Structure formats: structure tokens, C-alpha cells
């Protein structure tokens, strides 16, 4: 059995680690009871995880904690630093104004938790995507006033995607601030989810990757990175499978974009594969398996692949030992676990 290195020549920084304030969980419970929004995926995911089963209760304890429970889990599994972000779907099920108000409060609460353990935590700022001006302001406040290291976008907002230019102020702000946006999965929206639900494929098993990979491609095809060429978007779960489709995405988009077949799809300034290699950063969150991790490093580049555990949604302490066993020398493992994360999130040594 592979054992974790107890004294590695690197720090382990986990870059997609979830947090939820108690107030948000209570608001989720209220929404589940009242069913005021049409979001079957939210009802499926949080209908279970806000419940009283043993698994849900253990999840409650871990995801809300910013102290003893979380730190013990980190110590027990060999994680030195967590990059914390508001768990999906965050504030994005609420109306835009309410979501902006909640994002401000939750960012303040997260910053307070980080301040109690500044050597163990850094954070990403939440915002209300459909309130573009205030989203940009809250990201700027989070970075400049709260020392957040980027933003968290929990993918679609009740079926609305961010490829419409009217929502791009937050991306403009991220580029100007030189911070990344983590594009985190959400369950597929109402207009997409039905074929997934019957067989339990709506969430992490498959639906997350389909939904978030779709969002990433919509942003790219819309010309987001032509407008903001320095913008960096982070994708977890080994890139939501996009690196494995790299050749076909590149080939097909290059043909489709010049035919005029789709009125909202035109040529871009670069090849599709270039955006996926130059404007996206990847983590292995939820994928504790060497072959796909190594594939992304090889195809995209070793400076664009970071470690993540996906705590507490997929808390597998043994995974750290599996990643310690990657076919890399110590310098390669240090780059994967530590160096890339320090660069991307500006984490001082």
C-alpha cells in the first residue's frame, strides 16, 4: 500500500476546498421547503446534503468549520494550506440584489476565519454574477480590502451563463486585479438536467463536468479571452474533461467558426487549443488517479496543473499518498503541490 510521505520537500496546497456559512445552509433549507425557484439540480443536491442523514450531518460539520475540525482533517491528511471558496451554488440561487448583499457578508465572514489561521488558509471572493457592476466592485473589495486571491464563480446562475457580454465586468475586474476566477461546477440547469436525474448522473459523477465544461467553452467561443487576453480561469476535476477533447474542440471549432452556420459563432484571434493552454489553469480536484493528472500536465503544461482535494465533498485522506506516488521527481511534485498554487494565488512562502 502506498504511504504518504511524512516529510516531503514541498508544502501541499489544496486549491478547491469548500466552505459554507451557517446562514447560507439555513437559506438553502428554506428554499428546499418552499421550492420558490425552478432548479431541480439544487433540490437534488442540497435536498440531500442539508438533511439529517449521517453522511449529511458529517458534511455539515466539515463544510461550515473554519477551525478545529478542518485543521485536524488537514493535519491528518498532510495538507498544509487550503484555498477556500464558497461552496456551490453559493449565493447564485438568490435574486441579484440579495446575492450581492449575501456575498458581502459571507466574504467578510470568510476573511475573519482566514485571519484566525493565516498560515493555513487563503480565500476566494464570492460575487453576484447577474449584478455585474456590483460583482466587479465586490471582487475588487475582496482582493484589495480582504486579501482574497481571486473570485469564485459557481458556474451558471439559474440557467444563465456568463458568455453574454453584459456580464463581463467581473472578468474585466479580475484581469485588472491580476487574479484568477475559479469556475466551479454547478448541477445542470433546469433546461439541461432531466436526462441526468433518473440515473443519479446530475452531480459529480458526470453532470458537473458536462455543465461546467460547457460554460468554459461558451466563454471561450464568445470571445471572452480576445477581450481580456490575460484573464485566467481555473477549472477543477482535471479540466472537466476538456483537455481530453482538446484535438476535437480545436479541429471542429476552426471549421464551424468560418462557415456562418451559427450566427453567434465566429472566428477567434487564436486557436481553441491556445485558449485552453494559455487562459485556463487546471486542478485535479476529485481525481486522485495518476493517469489523467499526468495527461493534463503533459498536454496543457506542468505549470498549469495544481493539486486540489475537493474537501469536504470528496474527502479521501489516502488520496494524498496516491498523489505523492505520481511518476515525478521531487521538483515536479513541488511544482504540482506548491509552486503553481503560490504563483496563481500569490501565496508567500
Q: Cα separations (Å) of 98 from 26, 103, 141, 159, 234?
A: 15, 9, 18, 18, 26
Cα–Cα distance for residue pair 115/315, rounded to 1 Å: 24
Asked if residue 57 lies in contact with residue 43, where contact means CB atoms within 8 angstroms, the answer is no
> Which ranges constitute the DSSP H helices of 78-154?
96-116, 132-144
Largest CA distance in the chain: 58
281, three cell numbers: 489553469
| Cα-to-chain-centroid distance, residue 330 | 27
Asked whether the bond before 89 is cis by omega within 30 degrees of 0, the reply is yes
Which residues are annotated as catalytic?
310
User: What number of other Cβ atoms are within 10 A of residue 43's Cβ?
Assistant: 16
- Which helix (H) or strand (E) segment holds residue 213: the answer is helix 207-221
Q: How far is CA 284 from CA 235, 287, 300, 336, in A?
A: 9, 5, 13, 10
Q: Is residue 6 helix, strand or coil?
A: coil
Reference 173, options 165, 163, 181; nearest CA is: 181
* Look-up of cell digits 471549432: 253
Amino acid at each position: 500500500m502506498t504511504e504518504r510521505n511524512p516529510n516531503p520537500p514541498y508544502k501541499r496546497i489544496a486549491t478547491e476546498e469548500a466552505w459554507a456559512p451557517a446562514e447560507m445552509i439555513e437559506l438553502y433549507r428554506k428554499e428546499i421547503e418552499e421550492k420558490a425557484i425552478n432548479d431541480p439540480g439544487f433540490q437534488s443536491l442540497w435536498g440531500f446534503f442539508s438533511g439529517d442523514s449521517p453522511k449529511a450531518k458529517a458534511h455539515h460539520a466539515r463544510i461550515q468549520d473554519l477551525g478545529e475540525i478542518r485543521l485536524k482533517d488537514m493535519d491528518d491528511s498532510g495538507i498544509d494550506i487550503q484555498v477556500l471558496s464558497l461552496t456551490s451554488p453559493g449565493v447564485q440561487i438568490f435574486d441579484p440584489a440579495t446575492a450581492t448583499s449575501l456575498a458581502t457578508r459571507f466574504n467578510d465572514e470568510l476573511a475573519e476565519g482566514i485571519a484566525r489561521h493565516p498560515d493555513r488558509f487563503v480565500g476566494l471572493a464570492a460575487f453576484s454574477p447577474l449584478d455585474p457592476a456590483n460583482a466587479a466592485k465586490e471582487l475588487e473589495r475582496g482582493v484589495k480590502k480582504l486579501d482574497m486571491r481571486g473570485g469564485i464563480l459557481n458556474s451558471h446562475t439559474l440557467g444563465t451563463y456568463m458568455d453574454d457580454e453584459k456580464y463581463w465586468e467581473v472578468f474585466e475586474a479580475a484581469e485588472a486585479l491580476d487574479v484568477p476566477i475559479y469556475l466551479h461546477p454547478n448541477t445542470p440547469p433546469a433546461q439541461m438536467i432531466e436526462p441526468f436525474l433518473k440515473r443519479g448522473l446530475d452531480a459529480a459523477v458526470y453532470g458537473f463536468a458536462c455543465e461546467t465544461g460547457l460554460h468554459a467553452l461558451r466563454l471561450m467561443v464568445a470571445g471572452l479571452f480576445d477581450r481580456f487576453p490575460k484573464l485566467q480561469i481555473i477549472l477543477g476535476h482535471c479540466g472537466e474533461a476538456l483537455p481530453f477533447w482538446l484535438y476535437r474542440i480545436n479541429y471542429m471549432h476552426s471549421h464551424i467558426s468560418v462557415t456562418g452556420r451559427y450566427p453567434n459563432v465566429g472566428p477567434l484571434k487564436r486557436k481553441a487549443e491556445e485558449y485552453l493552454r494559455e487562459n485556463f489553469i487546471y486542478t485535479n480536484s476529485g481525481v486522485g488517479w495518476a493517469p489523467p493528472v499526468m495527461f493534463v500536465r503533459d498536454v496543457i503544461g506542468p505549470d498549469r496543473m495544481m493539486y486540489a482535494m475537493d474537501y469536504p465533498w470528496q474527502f479521501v485522506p489516502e488520496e494524498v499518498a496516491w498523489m505523492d506516488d505520481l511518476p515525478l521527481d521531487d521538483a515536479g511534485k513541488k511544482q504540482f503541490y506548491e509552486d503553481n498554487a503560490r504563483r496563481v494565488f500569490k501565496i508567500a512562502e
